[in-house]
Amino acid sequence: MKKLTTFLVLGAGCLFLASCDNEESASKEPTVTYRKMTDAISVVLRSDRTAYTKNIVARLKKEGVMPSEHWKDEKQKTLLPAQMFRAGQEIAMSRDPGFFYQLKSIWPINPKNLPNEFEKAGFEKVAESGGAENFYGQEEIDGQKYFVAIYPDVAVSPACVDCHNEHKDSPRKDFKMDEVMGGIVIRVPME
């Protein structure tokens, strides 16, 4: 009879599940595949991003507080969703969580968020699927192998579409609601 043991780890905002075949293996440290790990991380990251965009940005806009890339220097401004994502990323990376993540796009407003060639192939597959499929692969950087997962970043609010379509530096100005605008890249070192 198969015994299922569930482990819940909320540190770093992630949910991990592991199953064990018997009582003896239940006492061993659970293992999680790279894919399950990155899938769990992506759920948290995309949920936080969506909650901020739909609940905070949308509400503040109704109250006259607009998102702006210059939010620190202007009154009645708040962070853009991409800036909020990056602020969380900087805090997480300062704590060395054992993985890396970044918001990128084939059509970024900030050129620093362009994907490398490997990521670009993944982004094209994610965009071609309309965000229905994720991309998984392995990449070697400076002698280190990484498991790489790319998840769609979809326009969840008119604020996303309006910002990108109206921004002077946006390379694309025809985004629509529920369309893939970019993606979250999660990179885990493989031991």
**Do residues 174 and 181 make contact, with C-beta atoms less than 8 angstroms apart?**
no
User: Boundaries of CATH 3.30.450 in the chain?
Assistant: 33-189
From 149, 148, 182, select the one nearest 49 (Cα to Cα): 182
Q: pLDDT tens across 83-129, in order? A: 999 999 999 999 999 999 999 999 999 999 999 999 999 999 999 99
**Do residues 135 and 149 make contact, with C-beta atoms less than 8 angstroms apart?**
yes
Amino acid identity at 183: G
**pLDDT over 70, % of the chain:** 86
Amino acid identity at 2: K
The second-level CATH assignment, the architecture, of 33-189 is: 2-Layer Sandwich (3.30)
pTM of the model: 0.81
Q: pLDDT tens across 118-169, in order? A: 999 999 999 999 999 999 999 999 999 999 999 999 999 888 899 899 999 9
Angstrom distance (rounded) from CA 114 to CA 108 = 6
Q: Is the dihedral of CA 166, 172, 173, 177 positive or negative?
A: negative
